[in-house]
Amino acid sequence: MRALLAQGFAASRSPVEPRFQGHRGGVITMHRALTYFRLGPLNLLMSISLFLFFSAIWVALLPRLCRFWTSFLQLSLRLLPLHGTLEVAEHGFNSFRLGIPYVRVYPVLPSLWIWSLTCLVTVLLFVGTFFLPEKCVPLTYLSRGILTVQGTSLFYFALWPMRFPHSPDSYMEALMTSGIGLITIVPLLYAFTYYIFDFGLWRKAILTGLTLVYLTLVLPFQVVLQALVLQTTLLFMPVLYIVFGLPLEILLIIAFYSWGMTWSFQSERSARGPGFPGITHAPLVS
């Protein structure tokens, strides 16, 4: 009798490979993007065309955008309590020249008061992460990571403040240059990760355009805000570089990409007929 029950139980179980099972025994369904993934010649041609189109537009507009960023930084220096000067770094290849603007601020080592206050706030915030509710576990670990970076900066400036190898000038120039470089490769990133899916030409173009415009507007604000912080002390440069520098812009690109991946595929719209809305959330397909 017991053998018959065991045999019936084994037969009732679905033959699912362990790599498709979650930690609770449930089945991990295939993501809808992979379900509707069809890498055909048309998608490849569309990917290459969109990459070349947006890259050509970006390169053609980049000199004008540099002048726009220069005007924005000049206005910020006049209106904000920002004690610095505007510098323009010349970059280029052959006849293509770019004048990339950045804000020059003077290096200021942390005083005992600023160091002590920052240390106290860092310790209190780190202790406070242990009192966050369990549902805030991602926020807890993210906060601890940021506070750990600031803690290492406090430790370094407490022991070797005169040996800090970086200056605000080189950092601000690198922040602007790396930001421009990251925006430049956005069409290439989308060509490999988004254009290959069956979203349609207009959706791919709209997402790329929104990402480029948003990052173009965010970059000068990021430079100004970091210059306002760095003019007080060098103590915050590590956390600005590691957390709020290029990684922040990468997260913005991931956010736009994630939003675009929730849009409906052409196959879904065709299956539901002409009345199916243009952009919607679709359920997972196993």
Provide, rounded to the nearest whole percent, the portion of the chain with pLDDT above 90. 59
Asked if 100 and 89 count as a contact pair (C-beta separation under 8 A), the reply is yes
Please indicate, yes or no, if residue 80 is contained in any of the structural domains: yes
Asked if 179 and 222 count as a contact pair (C-beta separation under 8 A), the reply is yes
Asked if 215 and 95 count as a contact pair (C-beta separation under 8 A), the reply is no
pLDDT of amino acid 285: 39
pLDDT digits (tens, 9 = 90+) for 227-275: 999 999 999 999 999 999 999 999 999 999 999 988 887 655 555 554 4
The verdict on 85 and 219 lying in the same domain is: yes
The verdict on 174 and 266 lying in the same domain is: yes
The verdict on 81 and 215 lying in the same domain is: yes
Please indicate, yes or no, if residue 64 is contained in any of the structural domains: yes
The verdict on 129 and 225 lying in the same domain is: no
Give pLDDT tens digits along the chain (286 positions).
Answer: 444 444 444 444 555 566 666 666 667 666 555 555 666 677 788 889 999 999 999 999 999 999 999 999 999 999 999 988 999 988 777 777 888 999 998 888 999 999 999 999 999 999 999 999 989 999 999 999 999 999 999 999 999 988 888 888 889 999 999 999 999 999 999 999 898 888 888 999 999 999 999 999 999 999 999 999 999 999 999 999 999 999 999 999 999 999 998 888 765 555 555 443 444 444 433 3
200 Ramachandran zone, left/alpha/beta (phi>0; psi -120 to 50)? left
Domain that includes residue 152, residue range: 110-163
Please indicate, yes or no, if residue 257 is contained in any of the structural domains: yes
